[in-house]
Structure formats: structure tokens, C-alpha cells
Amino acid sequence: MTLPLADVGFAEATWILVVKSILIFLVIFMIMPVLTVVERKLLGRFQARYGPNRVGPYGLLQPLADALKLVSKEYYTPTSAVPLLYALGPMLVIFSGIAALAIIPVGNVKDGVGFYGIDVSIGVLYFFAFGSFAFYGLLLGGWASGSKYSFLGAMRSAAQLISYEVSMGLALLGAIMMAGTLSLTGIVEAQDEIWYIVPQIVGFLIFMIAGFAEANRAPFDLPEADAELVAGYQTEYGGMRYGTFALTEYVEMFLVSGIATTFFLGGWQGPGPGWLDPFWMLAKILTLILFFMWIRATLPRLRYDQLMSLGWKILLPLATLNVLVTAILVTVF
């Protein structure tokens, strides 16, 4: 089967694709609420306090209370906002986040069913396309809010995007060259001897640092910057629109962790029988997400110019050097 936009490595009947997409959607949206409460409880522990422990046993029903509160709130639009773009912002963000999840492979083809949304030959470019697309949502939402804080947050997100995106791509390039394919399943298959975190440790570190910026997480949560910009681009949003932005942060975190797992941590590979593959993948992703939370509890937010100089002066030269060295080694051996 050939799609007009991209070659597909392996594709099933349409109804299987539909079932798969619903399944991915459900699993992700079962995990997200758990992640929110885990993050809050973990942040509490990191700061020598308990975190939420009032709603339900051990506070585990907290996301339910949060969601109920957000859903029952008014959909307020400021008079200075551009209503259409204002409403479009969160939609674009959540759309691009979920769409990008489609390429994360949780297993290989088994019994004629591929354990991923879709295996496209452009693989990682798909991820970058939707990752950058998410920033249109932030930018539009923040700019259309008609508030100075939202505007500043939106501008920061744009400046942040151009500072880290290049080095993020270059960081993955090393792994791509070693595997010799852009397809994510192909890259995981290529790691059955050694996980790329060993030869590509520099690429992994650069990708993770850029990934914090991609997911708008501390220490690069400049667009949000709750200390100085109220809530940055989401200042004027309320109700489930705000909830969508908050949820997308977790989706993005999941996405970045998924890509990092696929490229550097051997994807679904692990000991045990074949049906364990999705669980290995999930376990690796969740470990990386815990690392995200640990970093959030540890590092203060970088200043605007510090992020830029980190991106351009340190990450980019390092990533380029990494690509260069990898290219030479791949050609020689």
C-alpha cells in the first residue's frame, strides 16, 4: 500500500488501523491522569512533603477531581482575544501531540499486526514535523489571547523552538546513521546487539536536554514560566482548554521519552517472551518520564538568554561534532 505522502513499511487492513488508533488513544489517556498524580506526589517527596493525599486512597483520585473541576468551568474568552484562533490553539497542540504518538513502536509485527500506529519510512521526520507543529498551537493560542503575558510566553516558545530544534535533529542523526534507516522499527531492530545509548551517549544527552525544551518542561519551561509570566501562553485559558494544554505537556513528555527509548534504549527489546515487548517499551518510557520529574524537582528555570546560548553555543557544536565523528566511524568500519 502506498500513501501519497510517505511510504509505509507495513500496513494492515483499514479496520485494524482504526482499532489500533483507538487502542493507542485509550492507553495513553489512561496513563496521563496517573502521570499527573504521580508527578505531584513525586514532586512532593522531592521537596520533603506528601503531595496530594486527600482525594481517595493515597490521593489517587486527585486527577478525577482535577478533571471534574476543569470540565465544569466556564469557557471564558477575553474581550481582547481573537476568538477563533484562541479556540484553535489548544486543539492544534493536542492534535499534533496525539498524531505524533502514532509512530512510537511498542513491538514488532506479530501475527500480521504491527505494534505501532503506523510505520512510515520518513519515521523521525514525522515526529519532528508534529513536534514543531505543536508550537503553532502555543504561538497562536498565546498571541490570540490578547494579553501581554500570553504574548511573551508565545514569543518565548518560538525563540526556544529555534534554539533547540536543530541540535535535537542532529542528536538523532547519529543513531539514524548507525541504523541506516529512518523507520523507527528499523532503528529498534538495529539495536539488538547494543543499545545506542552506549555508542551515542552524547547524542542521548543532547536529545534529552533538547527534549526538556520540546516538552516545555523544567528547566526549559520558559513559555510557561509561572514565576514571571503567570502561566505564559496559557494565562488566559480556563476550563478544559487550559486542561488540554496541561494534558499536552504530558503527551509531549511521553512522546519525547518514547522517541528517546526508540533511538537510544533499544525500544521494545528486553529479555523475556515476545508478548512482553509493549511492557518493556512502557517501562522504559515511564522510567524516562520519572527522570523528567526528577529534573523538574532539581533544576531552576534557565533564563531566556541562557537557553539560547546553551542551544547555540554548546548543544549545536556538540551535536555537530557527534554527527561528524559518527559519520567517520560508520564509513570507516
Contact mark string toward other proteins, 205..224, x via CB under 8 A: --------------------
**Nearer to other proteins (CB atom), residue 69 or residue 313:** 313
**Contacts of residue 80, Cβ cutoff 8 Å, sequence gap at least 6:** 145, 146, 147
Contact mark string toward other proteins, 13..32, x via CB under 8 A: --------------------
User: Would you count residue 295 as binding other proteins (CB under 8 A)?
Assistant: yes
**Nearer to other proteins (CB atom), residue 284 or residue 296:** 296
Among 1-9, 270-278, 280-288, 292-300, the segment contacting other proteins (CB under 8 A): 292-300
Among 10-18, 139-147, 155-163, 295-303, the segment contacting other proteins (CB under 8 A): 295-303
User: Would you count residue 47 as binding other proteins (CB under 8 A)?
Assistant: yes
User: For 225-276, where are the alpha helices, taking DSSP H only?
Assistant: 239-264
Q: Are 253 and 294 in contact (CB under 8 A)?
A: no
Q: With H, G, I as helix, E, B as strand and everything else as coil, classify residue 82.
A: coil
- Is the sign of the CA dihedral 284, 289, 293, 296 positive or negative? positive
Q: Are strands 113-114 and 119-120 parallel, antiparallel or unpaired?
A: unpaired
Position among 46, 95, 136, 279 found at the interface with other proteins (CB under 8 A): 46
Give residue 58's region: left, alpha or beta (phi > 0; psi -120 to 50): left
**Nearer to other proteins (CB atom), residue 126 or residue 207:** 207
In the beta sheet, which residues pair with residue 47? none
User: Would you count residue 294 as binding other proteins (CB under 8 A)?
Assistant: yes
Rounded least distance, CB 200 to other proteins, Å: 17
Q: Give, as ranges, the residues between 243 and 262 that touch other proteins (CB under 8 A).
A: none
Phi, psi of 324 (to 5 degrees): -60, -50
Q: How far apart are CA 192 and CA 59, in angstroms?
A: 41
Position among 29, 50, 75, 76 found at the interface with other proteins (CB under 8 A): 50
The residue whose grid cell reads 554548546 is: 314
Rounded least distance, CB 254 to other proteins, Å: 21
In the beta sheet, which residues pair with residue 13? none
Q: Are 214 and 134 in contact (CB under 8 A)?
A: no
User: Would you count residue 298 as binding other proteins (CB under 8 A)?
Assistant: yes
User: Would you count residue 314 as binding other proteins (CB under 8 A)?
Assistant: yes
Among 26-34, 43-51, 108-116, 323-331, the segment contacting other proteins (CB under 8 A): 43-51
Q: With H, G, I as helix, E, B as strand and everything else as coil, classify residue 114.
A: strand
Report the interface residues with other proteins, using CB under 8 A.
44-50, 294-295, 297-299, 309, 313-314
